[in-house]
Amino acid sequence: MAWGRSAHLIIGLTAWLAWAAPAAAGVLVRAPSYVNLSAQARTWRLTDSSWGFISPLSTAVASELEKCKRVDPAVAAPLQMSPNRLDKASADALAALRTCRKRWFEKATPVGAADEKLWVKLMNRPPPSTLDRAKVIAFGAAPLTPDYDRTLWDWDRGSGFASADPAAIFSWGPYKSTAGHGCTFQRALSALTASPVTGPMVREAFAEEGPLLDQLIDQSRPDWCASAAVILKPVFDDSERRENFRIIFAKLAGRPEIRAGYDGYFLGPNGYLGRRIARHYDLYARAGLTPTRMDFAYFLDRSLDYPPLSEAQIVDLSATVRAGRMTNWQARRLIANVTPFSSPGARSYQLGRDAVYFIEALGQEGLDDTERASWIRNSRLKASDVGLTEEPYAPPCDVVFLPGCPGGQP
């Protein structure tokens, strides 16, 4: 369908959709909405980590709905069946809750959305952090391992090393810690095992596979990264050991200390994510921009799949931002469109994910044809769906270790 022939329909329908009722201050989460390629208004979904903030919110809303005499109990059922998913059924449930607990919501909050006031009322604790919100969207960048309990044998994609990364063997978790190139899996596992808090948990989970664990984290050998294939091949070839290996990481994921340690490694001084995110902050500093909560989420999302910005890229991008007097969303769009891609297919996919972080400023009709088609095909989300805003934000050192943090580079 030609976009030119349907532009007036898209503009009209887009106005009817979510950003016709823009995210009010304090909005926590709302069901995504978009206009499809046939110019039809549609709703979409957010899928959070099983240990994210949407699950406890859904469970609490469902529990409260059961106390509302004017609400059909069936309205709460979808929230109980898939608590970590937020979609149209969730929006209907939130709208129903509003009919019997009107004072629990801010007046400006769109119907069918949850705001921070509701969270505090139901949960009796502060609203989710910027990192918690960013994860909801960013984890989708790891579709094969989108949560802490997910593992993948890359060898399964074909015969031998037939995956997208020829060196990949085994991957664990949403930051895609991989045995193979860079051996981020072994490094993360080593850090967790060495910690006095998480080490005993790792040892307990591995149990009879303790010797295998020791082999994986033994850094005394110069070729310890390259040896992963030899160490893990017997596990891969044995169906019982493969299943046990999966269970080990599923058990570990259930421990909040392990999840925090996993985050802490990758976002800390020794993890690749922290270093990549830091390069984006360097770019903004040179460009004269103050980073926001939405910028932080974008830097995290981008860093999952892209190497650190090079010095040359930072120089060129910061100069372009300054010359054009760009705002934050314009800078994010610039990064999205000029960063080299490995292939046309990669560009088509990534642009749709990047548009999540500037579509709020443009509206769906303001995207160019390539951005729009990719966003509809690959995302359909807006960063504001999880309450991310352009409020200035500097992540604490215990969230992301940036230059200037104690013990880091000045």
Q: What is the pLDDT of residues 178-190, one digit of tens each?
A: 998 789 999 999 9
Q: What are phi and psi of 129, to 5 degrees?
A: -75, 170
89: pLDDT strictly greater than 50: yes
d(CA 129, CA 85): 18
Q: Which residue has the tokens 């200390």?
A: 257
Question: Which residue has better confidence, 14 or 135?
Answer: 135
Q: Is the pLDDT of residue 195 over 60?
A: yes
pLDDT for position 6: 37
pLDDT tens track for 327-336? 999 999 999 9
Instruction: Estimate the share of the chain in helix, then strand, then coil, as percent rounded to the nearest 5.
Output: 55, 5, 35
Return the pLDDT at 7: 34
pLDDT value at 12 more than 70: no
DSSP states of 269-283 as a string?
Answer: TTSHHHHHHHHHHHH
Residue 163 confidence (pLDDT) above 90: no
pLDDT of residue 38: 92
**pLDDT band with cut points at 50, 70 and 90 for residue 95:** very high
Asked whether the predicted pLDDT for residue 1 surpasses 50, the reply is no
Confidence of residue 16 (pLDDT cuts 50, 70, 90): very low
The reported pLDDT for the residue numbered 342 is 67
Encode 286-298 in three state secondary structure: HHCCCCEHHHHHH
Q: What angle do CA 136, 62, 44 make, to 5 degrees?
A: 40
Closest by CA position to 370, among listed 337, 329, 335: 337
DSSP string, 217-244: H-TTSTTTTTTHHHHHHHHHH-HHHHHH
Query: How far is it, in rounded angstroms, from Cα 384 to Cα 362?
Result: 13
Nearest residue to 124 (alpha-carbon basis) of 35, 57, 51: 57
Q: What percent of the chain has pLDDT over 90?
A: 79
Confidence at 21, pLDDT banded by 50, 70, 90: very low
Per-residue pLDDT, 395: 97
- Whether 333 and 350 have beta carbons less than 8 Å apart is answered as no
Structure tokens at 394: 């500097």
Q: How confident is the model at residue 344 (pLDDT cuts 50, 70, 90)?
A: confident
Pairing assessment for the beta strands 46-47 and 85-86 based on DSSP bridges? antiparallel
**DSSP category for residue 173:** T
Mean pLDDT across the chain, nearest whole number? 90
pLDDT score of 5 more than 90? no
CB 67 within 8 A of CB 409: no
DSSP for 315-370? HHHHHHHHHTT--HHHHHHHHHHHS--SSHHHHHHHHHHHGGGTHHHH-GGGS-HH
* For residue 10, pLDDT beyond 80: no
Residues in a beta bridge with 115: 27
Pairing label, strands 27-30, 170-172: unpaired
Q: What local confidence, expressed as pLDDT, does residue 98 receive?
A: 96
- Average pLDDT value for residue range 127-151: 93
**How far is residue 53 from each of residues 129, 134, 368, measured CA to CA in Å?**
9, 11, 33
**What's the whole-number mean pLDDT along residues 259-266?**
98
User: How does residue 165 score in pLDDT terms, banded at 50, 70 and 90?
Assistant: low
With cut-offs at 50, 70 and 90, classify the pLDDT of residue 157. low
- pLDDT of residue 204 exceeding 70, the answer is yes
Dist. CA 334–CA 315, nearest whole Å: 13
**Predicted local confidence at residue 350, as pLDDT:** 87
Average pLDDT over residues 41-51: 96
What's at 149, amino acid-wise? D
**Pairwise CA distance, residues 44 & 23, whole Å:** 16
Measured CA to CA, the distance from residue 192 to residue 199 in angstroms comes to 6
The model's confidence at residue 23, banded by pLDDT at 50, 70 and 90, is very low
pLDDT at 162 > cutoff 60: no
Which of 25-41 are b and which e, b meaning 16 or more Cβ less than 10 Å from the residue's Cβ? Answer: ebbbbbbbbbbeeebeb
pLDDT of 232 over the 80 cut: yes
Position with higher pLDDT, 156 vs 325: 325
Give the tens place of pLDDT for each residue, 269-282. 999 999 999 999 99
Is 70 exceeded by the pLDDT of residue 228? Answer: yes
Please, which pLDDT band fits residue 346 given cuts at 50, 70 and 90?
A: confident
C-alpha to C-alpha distances, 362 to 11, 134, 166, 280, 341, nearest whole angstrom = 11, 20, 39, 22, 24
Which one has a higher pLDDT value, 346 or 214? 214
- For the cut 90, the answer to whether the pLDDT of residue 85 exceeds it is yes
Helix (H, G, I), strand (E, B) or coil at 97: helix
Buried b (16+ CB within 10 A) or exposed e, 338-362: eeeeeeeeebebbbbbbbbbbbbbb
Report how far Cα 386 is from the mean position of its chain's Cα atoms: 11
Q: Tell me: the pLDDT tens digits for 235-244?
A: 999 999 999 9
C-alpha 50: how far from chain center? 13
